[in-house]
Structure 1
Amino acid sequence: MSWISTRAYYERINKFVQKQAPPLASPPLLIESLDYAPIAAAKNADDWDAIAGTLVESARRLESAGAEGLVIAANAMHKVHDRITEAVSIPVLHIADSVGAAMAQTDCQNAALLGTRFVMTESFYRKRLVDHGVNLLPPNPDDVEMVDGIIYKELMLGRVTRDAERALKTIITMKEKEGAQAIVLACTELEMVVDTDANVLPVFDSTDIHCRAAANWILE
Structure 2
Amino acid sequence: MKKVGIIGGIGPESTVDYYQSIIAKVQERVGSKEVLPELFINSINMYKLFQLLTNGQIKELIDYLADAVQELKNAGADFVVMSGNTPHIVFGEVQQKVQIPMISIVEETLLNVKMGGLQKIGLIGTKFTMENDFFKIPFAAENRKIIVPNEAEQKFIHKKIVEELENGLVNKETKEQFLEIIEQMVKRDGVHGIILGCTELPMLLQKEDLAMPVFNTTEIHVEKIVTTILAE
TM over 0.5: yes
Q: Deviations over 1:98-157 (max 9, x none)?
A: 000011111122111111112112112221233344222254112211111111121112
Would the aligned equivalents of 1:5 and 1:188 in 2 still touch at CA under 8 Å?
Answer: yes
Normalising by structure 1, what TM-score?
0.94
Show the 5 A alignment for 1:1-220. 1-23=10-32, 24-178=34-188, 179-220=190-231
Say if 2:136 and 2:145, in contact at 8 Å, map to a contact too.
no
Measure, in 2, the Cα distance between the counterparts of 1:164 and 1:22: 38
Q: CA deviation at 1:206?
A: 0.5
How far apart are residue 15 of structure 1 and its match?
1.6
Q: Considering only aligned residues, what root-mean-square deviation do their CA atoms show, in Å? A: 1.5
Cα distance between partner residues in 2 of 1:160 and 1:104: 31
The 2-side partners of 1:60 and 1:215 are apart by 21
Deviation at 1:191, TM superposition (A): 1.2
Q: TM-score, normalization: structure 2?
A: 0.89
1:110–1:134: 8 Å Cα contact kept in structure 2? yes
2:80–2:102 contact (8 Å) kept in structure 1:
yes
1:28-66 Cα shifts (integer Å, max 9, x gaps): 211111133333332332322222221111100111111
Q: What is the count of residue pairs matched by the alignment?
A: 220
Q: How far off is 1:176 after superposition?
A: 2.0
Q: Can you list the C-alpha shifts for 1:136-195, whole angstroms capped at 9, x where unaligned?
A: 225411221111111112111222112211111101111222311100110001111112
The alignment-based identity, stated in percent, is 26
Answer whether contact 2:62 2:90 (CA < 8 A) is retained: yes
CA contact (8 A) 1:99 1:129 kept: no
CA distance in 1, matches of 2:124, 2:24: 26
Which runs of 5 or more structure 2 residues have no equivalent in the other structure? Answer: 1-9
